[in-house]
Structure 1
Amino acid sequence: MKKTNAMRILDGLKILYETAEYDDDGEHVLEKGAACRMAEKLDVNPETVFKTIVMRTEAKEICVFCQSAVNEINLKKARQAAGVKEIAPVKPEDLLGLTGYVRGGCTPIGMKKKFRTFIDKSVMECEKVCISGGQRGIQIKIKPEDLVKATDAVLCDLIL
Structure 2
Amino acid sequence: MAKVKIDKTNAMRALDQLKLEYEALSYPCTGDEVLGGIEVAELIGESASVVFKTLVTHSDNKDFVVAVIPSDEHLSLKKLAKISGHKKIEMIPVAKIEALTGYIRGGCSPIKMKKIFPTFISDKAKYLPYIIISAGKRGAQIKIAPENLQKAIHYQFADISDVEEVEV
What is the TM-score of this pair, normalised by structure 2? 0.89
Aligned to 1:42: 44
Provide the alpha-carbon RMSD of the alignment: 1.3
Matches within 5 A, 1:23-34: 23-29=28-34, 34=36
- Range moving further from structure 2, 16-25 or 66-75: 16-25
The Cα offsets for residues 1-45 of structure 1, whole Å up to 9 and x where unpaired, read as 321110111111111100111112544446xxx322211211111
> Contact 2:108–2:134 (CA<8 Å) still a contact in 1?
yes
Q: Is the 8 A contact 2:34 2:138 kept in 1?
A: no
CA distance in structure 2 between the aligned counterparts of 1:17 and 1:104, rounded to whole angstroms: 20
Q: Mean alpha-carbon deviation: is it higher for 95-104 or for 119-128?
A: 119-128
Query: Aligned partner of 2:16: which letter?
Result: D
1:8 — aligned with what?
13
2:34/2:105 contact within 8 Å kept: no
Which runs of structure 1 show a deviation greater than 4 angstroms over 4 or more consecutive aligned residues? none
Structure whose CA Rg is larger? 2
Do structure 1's residue 131 and structure 2's residue 153 form an aligned pair? no
**1:37-76 alignment to 2 at 5 Å?**
37-76=39-78
Number of equivalences: 157
Among 19, 23, 45, the residue aligned to 1:18: 23
Amino acid in the other structure paired with 2:19: K
Tell me the secondary structure at the aligned position of residue 83 of structure 2. Answer: helix
Q: Tell me which of 75, 78, 94 is aligned to 2:96.
A: 94
1:151 partner letter: I
SS of 1:7's equivalent?
helix
Runs (5+) with no aligned partner, structure 2: 1-5, 163-168
Whether the 8 Å contact between 2:134 and 2:140 is mirrored in structure 1 is yes
- C-alpha distance after superposition, 1:120-158 (max 9, x if no partner): 110012111110000000000000111223111011101
* Identical amino acids, percent of aligned pairs: 40
Q: CA deviation at 1:86?
A: 1.3
Distance in 1, matches of 2:70 and 2:116, equals: 22
Give the alignment's TM-score, normalised by structure 1.
0.93
